[in-house]
Amino acid sequence: AKAAGRGKHCFYESSMHSEAAERQLLENDLRQAIERGELSVHYQPIVRTAGEEISGFEALVRWQHPTRGAISPAKFIPLAEEAGLIGSIGEWVLTTALQEAAHWPDHVRIAVNLSPLQFNDPGVTQMVSRHLTETGVRAERLELEITEGVFLAEGDTTDETFAKLKQIGVRLSLDDFGTGYSSLGYLKKAPFDKIKIDQSFVRGASSSTNRNAAIIRAIVTLAETLGMDTCAEGVETHDDLQLIRELGVSMVQGYIFGRPSESETARSLANTVTVE
Ligand code: C2E
Ligand code: CA
Ligand code: CA
Ligand code: CA
């Protein structure tokens, strides 16, 4: 089957370049990526604005394709969602990240992205709970990052899942805030602990128009009123960092404090008190 797959691969590559064929090839490869050891998890620091100590790390999946090289999660995660592979990939990322976090000091959190499709699986709370038990990581150390996409398929189970996840003690972050189908209605009822302000508002905010700053300020006010933390994503420059500070954002994630890095690097960072 493997040899036939390879032959097909060459045929398609030389004769048809339609996007659909390309996706099919990639999907076939992705289906086997876990067992072939091609996936890994990188960790990017999330730093408290005050004091600059590390609050935690976000787990970000990486795919090293044997012939195509590194493929961005922005490309293969949507593919995994469409191909029904996000459940197994997402669960693998979760357990890998929790195993890694078990090596960090107990106050350092681990943030893991949860696809709306995973969130909408009725067994999600049990799945998360099982991996927490197996790795011995306290639930309070785990932050699940969820995008506004979960509210698209909103049903009775959405509220129930939020309640169950809060009940086991994990933290919930609203990811990419401001980019999706933002409705203030669900901010009111969903028990988020943190709002992650999307990079599109953050990057270059200090040098662009002051509209981005106004939006960030409004989000901070909203979050504070609702008792939620804020995190600015994509902070690359000192000017942006200074603005983010002035606007009262409580946490920062961005290249200025560190790119996503391999577990060894993250582990030594996790054990330092201050980021240089
Ligand atoms: P995201 O959840 O918004 O993750 C943040 C992305 O911004 C990461 O891209 C990170 O490397 C990048 N980033 C962080 N700081 C900076 C900065 O200062 N400048 C710039 N230019 N970029 C910065 P990455 O790792 O390529 O991931 C892209 C997206 O793929 C993620 O966006 C997330 O939506 C998705 N993703 C990654 N890993 C997973 C996963 O395990 N599960 C799921 N469901 N989605 C994932
Ligand atoms: Ca995220
Ligand atoms: Ca994000
Ligand atoms: Ca994003």
Closest CA to 125 of 170, 80, 86, 89: 170
- Expressed in angstroms and rounded, the spacing between residue 186 Cα and the centre of ligand 1 is 23
Which SS3 state, helix, strand or coil, does residue 66 take? coil
- Expressed in angstroms and rounded, the spacing between residue 122 Cα and the centre of ligand 3 is 24
The yes-or-no verdict on residue 1 having pLDDT over 70 is no
Cα angle value 217/223/225 (rounded, 5°): 105
Cα angle value 213/218/223 (rounded, 5°): 125
- 17-21, 168-172, 190-194: range with highest mean pLDDT: 168-172
Enter the tokens of residue 123.
């067994």
Percent of the chain at pLDDT > 70 equals 91
The yes-or-no verdict on residue 164 having pLDDT over 70 is yes
Residue nearest to atom 20 of ligand 1 (CA): 234
CB atoms within 10 A of CB 26: 19
Lowest mean pLDDT among 39-43, 176-180, 199-203, 236-240: 176-180
The yes-or-no verdict on residue 13 having pLDDT over 60 is no
Q: What is the mean pLDDT of residues 99-107?
A: 97
Residue 178: which pLDDT band, with cuts at 50, 70 and 90? confident
Residue 182: which pLDDT band, with cuts at 50, 70 and 90? low
- pLDDT at residue 261, rounded to an integer: 97
- pLDDT at residue 7, rounded to an integer: 47
- Expressed in angstroms and rounded, the spacing between residue 36 Cα and the centre of ligand 1 is 23
Q: Which residue carries 């890694």 as its tokens?
A: 100
Predicted TM-score (pTM) of the model is 0.92
Q: What is the ipTM of this complex?
A: 0.98
Is there a contact between 109 and 55 (Cβ–Cβ < 8 Å)? Answer: yes
Distance CA 203, CA 205 (A): 5
Which residues, listed in sequence order, are joined to residue 47 by a DSSP beta bridge? 54, 252
The yes-or-no verdict on residue 56 having pLDDT over 90 is yes
Q: For the chain, what is the total number of helices (H) and then of strands (E)?
A: 12, 9
Lowest mean pLDDT among 5-14, 206-215, 245-254: 5-14
Q: How far is CA 227 from the centre of its chain?
A: 22
- pLDDT at residue 71, rounded to an integer: 97
The yes-or-no verdict on residue 93 having pLDDT over 70 is yes
- Expressed in angstroms and rounded, the spacing between residue 17 Cα and the centre of ligand 2 is 32
The answer for residues whose C-beta is within 8 angstroms of residue 130's C-beta and 6 or more apart is none
The yes-or-no verdict on residue 28 having pLDDT over 90 is yes
**Could you report the per-residue pLDDT of 120-132, keeping only the tens digit for each?**
999 999 999 999 9
Average pLDDT, the chain: 90
Q: Which atom of ligand 1 is nearest to the CA of 74?
A: 30
Shortest-distance ligand to the CA of residue 111: 2
Is there a contact between 112 and 82 (Cβ–Cβ < 8 Å)? Answer: no
Query: For residues 164-184, b (16+ Cβ closer than 10 Å) or e, as one string?
Result: bbbeeebbbbbbbbbebeeee
Q: Rounded to the nearest 5°, which phi and psi values hold at 107?
A: -90, -10
Enter the tokens of residue 227.
């008792």
The answer for residues whose C-beta is within 8 angstroms of residue 267's C-beta and 6 or more apart is 100, 103, 104
The yes-or-no verdict on residue 30 having pLDDT over 90 is yes
Q: Which residues line ligand 1 (CB under 6 A)?
A: 44, 60-61, 72-74, 77, 90, 93, 113, 115, 175-176, 233-236, 253-255, 260
Which residues, listed in sequence order, are joined to residue 232 by a DSSP beta bridge? 197, 252
Q: Which atom of ligand 1 is nearest to the CA of 253?
A: 15
Q: What is the mean pLDDT of residues 8-32?
A: 76
- pLDDT at residue 154, rounded to an integer: 62
The yes-or-no verdict on residue 166 having pLDDT over 80 is yes
Q: How far is CA 211 from the centre of its chain?
A: 26
Shortest-distance ligand to the CA of residue 234: 1
Which SS3 state, helix, strand or coil, does residue 36 take? coil
Residue 5: which pLDDT band, with cuts at 50, 70 and 90? very low
